Amino acid sequence: MDGTFNENDISRIVEADKAHVWHHLIQHKAFETNDPRIILEGKGMRVWDQNGKEYLDAVSGGVWTVNVGYGRESIAKAVYDQLMKLCYFAQSAGSIPGSLFSEKLISKMPGMSRVYYTNSGSEANEKAFKMIRQIAHKKYDGKKHKILYRDRDYHGGTLATMSAGGQDERVMQYGPLAPGFVRVPHCMEYRAQWDLSGEEYGQRAADAIEEVILAEGPDTVGGLCLEPVTAGGGVITPPPGYWERVQEICKKYDVLLHIDEVVCGIGRTGTWFGYQQYGIKPDFVTMAKGVASGYAAIACCVTTEEVFEMFKDDASDPMNYFRDISTFGGCTAGPAAALENMRIIEDENLLENTVNMGERMMGNLQALMDKHKVIGDVRGKGLFLGAELVADRASKEPVSEKEIAQVSAECGAQGVIIGASNRSVPGLNNVLCFSPALIATADDIDQITDTVDRALTKVFG
Ligand code: PMP
């Protein structure tokens, strides 16, 4: 094979994929009986596969990424122009899009100040972990080095982020993991761990974090890393009162608060960042997926000026600066695409659309609950929603993995790609996930929920 491709020769693409591509998060045995899905093209909310089948993409590229939709010529042009001017230079120097995007981003993040460029969400999270560790060494003789993470939250696939991984099924068989990461309980009221509700539940779930800090020793805990709304762990929205108490606890014990906005960041929940809906003042905010809507790889670890100041060189400590590099953090395509992505979100009022369409979708899903007893709970924020399927509403016994897969396959057969987590964690992964692009129209939303309605009828009657 010489690398050229005749547009009509799709079978060659499928064969090359089956022979050489190792797909993400897939048991490849499946491809012995079915061909992998190959997405050839996308426009707006829709994509087309190798069989010419059209799908409405209800998950923004599968994993909450293509926030402004496919086929945006203005982003492609911004990237093209930038690449012709300067494709890359190591981030020890600056660049035009690096400066302009950081200025624009920080203008939407009151209280935050500095942008550290990297290439993936995992890597951005690792940078925050490293900064927290280095602060522990600089200020506390290395003692305050432990980082807390929450059950069901996910922060990435590298060894350190897996060590902060709250989803056991993603971590098993990859140990030994890195030391110094400690788990705190999740805050999911639907599957309550405490016999409380509403604000009282939120306060209690946050108090559980304080209990862990006290058990570990406050002088050993340096950071707390949380998703504003837990994504892959089951679309878990925080109960009222939770975040206020979390912030108080961090302050009380001098624990740096790291918010992982890899999914929620750049509009997904209807505000620029998910944390902004809860009045939180973070020390670190990490982001990736929606930053450039997938048009280029870019991720960032954003800090306050206070954090940044701690890394300024001083004569007494020549090793004081952040001794870290990320080669592709110097790719200029990322910030060039990201800047244009933000312009689109502003000019097309996509935050407002996200709130309106999110409300519509939530209403539609709640209406489906009346019809389908199999829906035990619907939850989410903006265009980031989930429907948890249970065999019995009283016991909350989850439906089987097979049934979740059937619902997802049925939606696909009817032309809508939804997210369905069928890994086997009872109660938390039996969730249908919806995260359409922020450009979704009322018709798109209704098409998604009508399709889910038909798929549920087909699978559960
Ligand atoms: N944090 C969260 C909340 C995520 O959902 C993900 C990816 N699904 C990551 C971090 C890791 O991002 P990446 O895959 O870009 O490394």
pLDDT digits (tens, 9 = 90+) for 395-427: 999 998 889 989 999 999 999 999 986 555 555
**Could you tell me which residue, 233 or 43, shows the higher pLDDT?**
43
Residue 454 CA to ligand 1 centre (angstroms) = 31
The pLDDT confidence band at residue 319, using thresholds 50, 70 and 90, is confident
Question: Do 320 and 368 lie in a common domain?
Answer: no
Beta bridge partners of 434: 385
Q: Is residue 101 part of a domain?
A: yes
CA of 155 to the centre of ligand 1 (A): 5
Whether 131 and 280 map to the same domain: the answer is: yes
Together in a domain, 364 and 454: yes
* Domain extent for 393: 37-68+349-460
Indicate whether 25 belongs to any domain: no
Q: CA of 351: how far to CAs of 72, 227, 348, in Å?
A: 18, 20, 9
Whether 41 and 93 map to the same domain: the answer is no
Reported as a single tens digit per residue, the pLDDT across 249-263 is 999 999 999 999 999
Index of the ligand 1 atom closest to the CA of residue 299: 15
60 and 117 both lie in a single domain: no
Calculate how far, in angstroms, residue 125's C-alpha sits from the geometric centre of ligand 1. 9
Q: What is the pLDDT of residue 1?
A: 46
Is there a single domain that holds both residue 342 and residue 384? no
Residue 7 falls inside a structural domain:
no
Residue 217 shares a structural domain with residue 258: yes
Confidence label for 5 from pLDDT (cuts 50, 70 and 90): low
Round to whole Å and give the CA distance between 231 and 11. Answer: 35
User: Ligand 1 pocket: which of 226, 262, 291 to mutate (most atoms <8 Å of CB)?
Assistant: 262
Ligand 1 geometric centre to CA of 311 (Å): 26
pLDDT for 27-37, tens place per residue? 898 888 889 99
Give me the pLDDT at residue 306, please.
96
**What pLDDT, on a 0 to 100 scale, did the predictor assign at position 329?**
96
**DSSP summary character for residue 261:** -
Statement: residue 429 has pLDDT above 80: no
Query: Does 80 reside within a domain?
Result: yes
Residues 151 and 216 in one domain: yes
Tell me the C-alpha distance between 41 and 268, whole Å: 23
Judge whether 17 lies within some domain: no
Question: Do 355 and 338 have their domain in common?
Answer: no
- Percent of the chain at pLDDT > 90 equals 89
Compute, in angstroms, the gap from residue 196 CA to the centroid of ligand 1. Answer: 31
**Which residue lies with its CA nearest to atom 10 of ligand 1?**
155
Q: What spacing in Å lies between the alpha carbon of 444 and ligand 1's midpoint?
A: 26
Do the bridges between strand 54-57 and strand 416-417 make them parallel or antiparallel, or are there none, so unpaired?
parallel
Looking at the fold, whether 280 and 260 belong to one and the same domain comes out as: yes
Average pLDDT (257-276) is: 98
Q: In angstroms, what is the span from residue 122 Cα to ligand 1's centroid?
A: 6
Residue pair 346/368 in contact by the 8 Å Cβ criterion: no
Q: What is the pLDDT of residue 337?
A: 98
Residues having CB closer than 6 A to ligand 1 are 63, 120-122, 125, 154-157, 227, 231-232, 260, 262-263, 288
pLDDT of residue 3: 57
What confidence score (pLDDT) does residue 423 get?
Answer: 56
Domain of 130: which CATH number?
3.40.640.10
**Of the candidates 311, 332, 347, which is a domain's last residue?**
347
| Mean pLDDT over each residue of the chain, to the nearest integer | 94
The reply to whether 329 falls in a domain is yes
Closest by CA position to 429, among listed 390, 383, 374, 381: 390
Say which residue, 292 or 232, is predicted with more confidence. Answer: 292
Domain count along the chain? 2
Quick one: pLDDT band at residue 320, thresholds 50, 70, 90?
Answer: confident
Q: Which protein residue's CA is at the shortest distance from atom 1 of ligand 1? A: 155
Looking at 328, 347, 366, the residue that finishes a domain is 347
Residues 329 and 420 placed together within one structural domain of the fold: no
Ligand 1 atom with minimal separation from the 289 CA: 15
* Range with the poorest average pLDDT among 3-7, 116-120, 134-138, 361-365: 3-7
Note whether residue 15 is domain-resident: no
395 CB burial (10 A radius; 0-12, 13-18, 19+): exposed
* CA atoms 264, 67, 117, 110: torsion sign: negative
For ligand 1, atom 12: residue with the closest CA: 121
| CA 126 – ligand 1 centroid, Å | 11
332 and 358 together in one domain: no
Last-in-domain residue among 304, 321, 347 = 347
The amino acid sitting at 138 is K
Is residue 37 within 8 Å of residue 47, measured between CB atoms?
A: no
Whose CA is closest to atom 13 on ligand 1? Answer: 121
In this structure, what CATH number is given to the domain that contains residue 426?
Answer: 3.90.1150.10
CA 15–ligand 1 middle distance (angstroms): 30
- Closest protein CA for atom 7 of ligand 1: 156
pLDDT in tens, 73-87: 999 999 999 999 999
- Atom index in ligand 1 nearest the CA of residue 227 equals 3
Bridge pairing between strands 431-434 and 419-421: antiparallel
Render pLDDT for 185-227 as a digit per residue (tens, 0 to 9): 999 999 999 999 999 999 999 999 999 999 999 999 999 999 9
Contact 267, 344 (CB under 8 A): no
Q: Is residue 231 part of a domain?
A: yes
